[in-house]
Homo-oligomer: A and B are copies of this chain.
């Protein structure tokens, strides 16, 4: 049992990741995850609704952080910059967990059920960003399209960060992706 990570949620996430990588998502039960994390199955279900949610711990916090940053930006700020800054700042928390993030991304990419859940989380992040933009007075369809671009930059920047051998910060990769879209849009 891994004791080096003190929090139960972190232990469960890491146990699930290990088991999904070792024996596959379908073959893994919540009982196995709980056992490896050193908790009861009841404790598991107090924290996570199912076998998928355990890999998406923190997604509500990410969504809230992005929405708050959009809300807190200066009134005069450019909407695309506002979303880009909000996402780049929020993902910076991943910086110190790159190896874990890379292993998690590989497991998700290999498991359609996890891909679907990830896409649902990204859609929720996009909707939260669009709502925060509308609250700033950004009209539609602008708010939705800027939110799409911001979440797109999150995905593309994150993938580039995981794929690259370089140690460029994840936030910089997100900003580069958005800058590329801006350059393309300028024609």
By a beta-carbon cutoff of 8 Å, the part of chain A in contact with chain B is 78-80, 112, 115-117, 119-120, 122-123, 140-142, 144-146, 148-149, 152-153, 155-157, 160, 176-178, 180-187
- Set of chain B residues within 8 Å of A152, measured between Cβ atoms: 144-145, 148-149, 152
Q: Which of B78, B112, B123, B146 contacts A181 (CB 8 A)?
A: B146
- Set of chain B residues within 8 Å of A155, measured between Cβ atoms: 148
A149 CA / B141 CA spacing, docked (Å): 12
- Whether B145 lies near A177 (C-beta < 8 A) is yes
Tell me if A's interface is mostly helix, strand, loop or mixed.
Answer: helix
- Whether B120 lies near A112 (C-beta < 8 A) is yes
Which 8 residue pairs across A and B have the least CB separation, nearest first?
A148-B152, A185-B185, A119-B119, A116-B116, A145-B181, A141-B177, A142-B180, A144-B156
Given the known A-B contacts A115-B120, A185-B80, are A153 and B149 also in contact in the complex, defined by CB atoms under 8 Å?
Answer: no
A116 CA / B120 CA spacing, docked (Å): 6
- Whether B184 lies near A144 (C-beta < 8 A) is no
A79 CA / B180 CA spacing, docked (Å): 12
- Whether A153 lies near B160 (C-beta < 8 A) is no
- Set of chain B residues within 8 Å of A122, measured between Cβ atoms: 119
- Whether A184 lies near B80 (C-beta < 8 A) is yes
State how many angstroms separate the Cβ of A45 from the closest Cβ of chain B.
19
Question: What are 14 A-B interface contacts by the 8 Å CB criterion?
Answer: A78-B187, A80-B187, A115-B120, A116-B116, A119-B122, A140-B160, A141-B156, A141-B177, A141-B180, A142-B184, A145-B184, A148-B152, A148-B181, A149-B152
- Whether B145 lies near A178 (C-beta < 8 A) is yes
A147 CA / B156 CA spacing, docked (Å): 11
Q: Which of B115, B119, B142, B160 contacts A183 (CB 8 A)?
A: B142
